[in-house]
Amino acid sequence: MAVLDELLHIASAEGLNAGGVPSASIALLEDGKISATMITNGVEDTETVYQACSISKAITALAVAKLVDDGRFSYGTLVANHLPRSTTDCVVDPATAHLMPHVTVRMLVSHTSGLSQHGFQGYIHDLPTAEDVLAGRPPSNTPKVRFNSIPGAQFSYSGGGFLVLQLFLEQVMGMPFPEIMQEVVLKPLGMLRSRYGALASDERNYAKAHYTAYTAVGVEYYRLVELAAAGLWTTPTDLLKAVAAIQQSLHTDTGFLRQETAKLMLTRIPQTDEVYSMALGWGADSSVFGHAGSNDPGFTCYAFGSHGGVVNAGQGADELQVPPGNGMVVMTNSSNGDAAYQKMISAVFYMKGWPRFRSLAGHYGRDDYVPYAAPGGTVVDDGWQGWLGVWKGGWQLVDDGGPKLVFDEFPPMALRPAAAPTKIEGGLRERLFVTHGLETAARLTWDGEQRVVELLQCEGARTLKRL
């Protein structure tokens, strides 16, 4: 059975809707081949476009890399030399005016420029100009973009920096940003369902923003001026075309990018943290590169691809846990979609036989999510019985025709094998179960040679020792 077909036996529309998500569009890249599916309670299909949210930054970064290859500028180019005074005046004051001349393209694309403003909500009615947003002038709904730290000194995620990058690209290329992206990336890679900025006037197949599976935002979607940061409409299939192009570029001299540039784009910056694992516009660890996105309200998504260990050896992931030529994208039209894509990606790792990950690059840093249950009929390994007994905090693991979890004086609740990979280390293999009917899971694992239960609940995880 194909992986996405099997995923549909694990992640149903009913379960998705119960978690607050009306639809999830999913595409899988396996050994360079793309397949797609849709889970929905509506009319969406695999050609429906969604807001890519901050994944827009990663595709913008791909365009930057291509323009570096084409000699239009370098990562070391000083952006202030190419921006009008009206733009730079928006982000400086007398105390910080001396900082702007030191900001480079590399700093903007790696979130080390020192500029503020994490993200953008978008607009329903009157749109501000890009300079209005930078200056915090009406009708902008975000504060002035300003220097929070010294350029190059630290990683600090900055949508404001990407808006400056957008204006820089327009000045260098002499055309509107959507046209730049169409010419440099989208058209060459055959991303025919992708577009920065406003939807085409005849576009009808687009997802509408939701708070929950049944509660729409009230407008179909918010419009954005901050296109480089969050303004891409696309499909998972199209995003995987970009992922595949990067993968090819890493292993050949005839790819979309020069091999040297592709490697540089995915090499982690020294200032980053383990959650973002930030490189030049993409998160990247020793196994995968990726990016998450959230346009709140209404859209959440995540994309990743494997790089075969070409970069970042030993940095933040098990070595080569995802074989080269693979990747996945999940896009949802809900503010609650992050829990869904975490579970779906985990389930695919489980079905593909890839090892457990503690995090994935590009702001997928949680290790305490509750996964989906494995399909009915999945065999329960008897090895779980080594964890039978009473655990601190009023918990027990009992054998009542199978594993069951007990809290205090409540009746036992059945445990089902989880659709998530587990760790094998030093000959010791952990087990993972989900509690039927609850957002609770139990990881039966080890602390050294001591058995422990890691209890995963809706508000995080805690480790239980045996009494």
Query: Each residue of 220-253: pLDDT tens digit?
Result: 999 999 999 999 999 999 999 999 999 999 998 8
Q: Give the tens place of pLDDT for each residue, 97-127.
A: 999 999 999 999 999 999 999 999 899 989 9
Q: Calculate the CA dihedral of residues 57, 187, 166, 47 and round it to 10 degrees.
A: -50
CATH numeric code, 3-49+190-352: 3.40.710.10
Q: Which two tokens stand for residue 436?
A: 């039927």
Q: Where are the beta strands (DSSP E) in 317-440?
A: 327-332, 389-391, 395-399, 403-407, 413-417, 424-425, 428-429, 431-435
pLDDT for 273 equals 79
Rounded to an integer, the average pLDDT of 124-139 is 96
More confident residue, 459 or 8: 8
Helix (H, G, I), strand (E, B) or coil at 275: coil
Task: Pick from 48-62, 319-333, 412-426 the range whose average pLDDT is largest.
Answer: 48-62
The helix/strand/coil state of 351 is: helix
Q: What single-letter amino acid sits at 124?
A: I
Q: Do the Cβ atoms of 270 and 260 come closer than 8 Å?
A: no
d(CA 144, CA 96): 13
245 to 239, 242, 252, 343, 365: CA distances (angstroms): 10, 5, 11, 26, 25
Question: Sorting pLDDT into bands at 50, 70 and 90, what band is 1?
Answer: low
**Tokens 């009992």 found at:** 398
Strand 431-435, strand 428-429: pairing: unpaired
Q: Is the model's pLDDT at 365 over the cut of 80?
A: no
The per-residue pLDDT for 316 is 64
End-to-end CA distance of the chain: 44
Closest C-alpha to 145, from 127, 171, 165: 165
Beta bridge partners of 195: 233
Domain ranges of the chain: 3-49+190-352, 62-173, 382-464
Q: Which of 41-50, 318-327, 394-403 has the lowest mean pLDDT?
A: 318-327
Interval 258-269: pLDDT, tens: 999 999 999 999
Of 466 and 73, more confident: 73
| pLDDT at residue 92, rounded to an integer | 95
- The residue-averaged pLDDT of 186-191 equals 98
Q: At what angle do helices 55-69 and 159-173 cross, to 10 degrees?
A: 40
Closest CA to 123 of 107, 104, 145, 138: 138
Question: What is the residue type of 236?
Answer: P
In whole angstroms, give the CA distance from residue 144 to residue 135. 5
- The tokens describing 320, both together, are 């080569």
Of residues 308, 312, 343, 311, the one with CA closest to residue 327: 308
pLDDT at 319: 59
Q: Which helix (H) or strand (E) holds 295?
A: strand 288-295
ω into 151 cis (within 30 of 0): no
Distance CA 115, CA 151 (A): 8
Six token digits for residue 310: 């070409």
Measured CA to CA, the distance from residue 426 to residue 440 in angstroms comes to: 27
> Once rounded to an integer, what is the mean pLDDT over residues 309-329?
82
Which tokens in the block code for residue 136? 């915090």
At residue 198's C-alpha, the angle toward residues 195 and 199, to 5°, is: 65
